[in-house]
Amino acid sequence: MAKQKGNNEYKMRNEAFMEALRNGEEELYEISQGVLCKIIERGEGDKCPRNGNVVTVHYKGSLINGKVFDSSYERGYPEAFRVNELITGWQIALTQMHVGDHWIVYIPWEMGYGKKGSGNIPGYSTLVFEMELVAIM
């Protein structure tokens, strides 16, 4: 019972975080399905990736408390991914980005790892990603 109460509190904190972003004064845009973004830099690319494309992305992923759970910046090189194999929030963001775009993307738990989480990411986690679309292959 205590674990369920803790999960509910964590879920509510994450949902409140997203609601505060939606109502805040920062220049954030809702892309789709609750995914928000802040544009840091606009790229010069002329097209957006589609779901079947492989993309190269530099990124840093963190939780709402600032804890970083993954970072290509720390490894020193961007990573390649097939868009349709990523979490829904990344698919939504990437298919709107142009090469060279640098965004902060806020992904609600439903568009991330859901109720169960993944590895060191707890269930119901809002995900915060700094993302740079380096290339579309």
CA distance 35 to 33: 6
State which residues form the domain around 29: 2-136
Among the options 81, 106, 113, 124, which is catalytic? 113
- Told to judge if 87 belongs to the known catalytic residues of this protein, a careful annotator would answer yes
Query: Which pLDDT value is given to residue 25?
Result: 74
Q: What is the CATH number of the domain that holds 20?
A: 3.10.50.40
Q: Model pTM greater than 0.85?
A: yes
DSSP class of residue 112 equals T
pLDDT digits (tens, 9 = 90+) for 65-76: 999 999 999 999
First-to-last CA distance in the chain? 48
Rounded mean pLDDT for each run of 10 residues along the chain, 137 residues in total:
72 97 88 96 91 96 98 98 98 97 98 96 98 97
| Structural domain count of the chain | 1
- Told to judge if 70 belongs to the known catalytic residues of this protein, a careful annotator would answer yes
Beta pairing partners, 26:
none
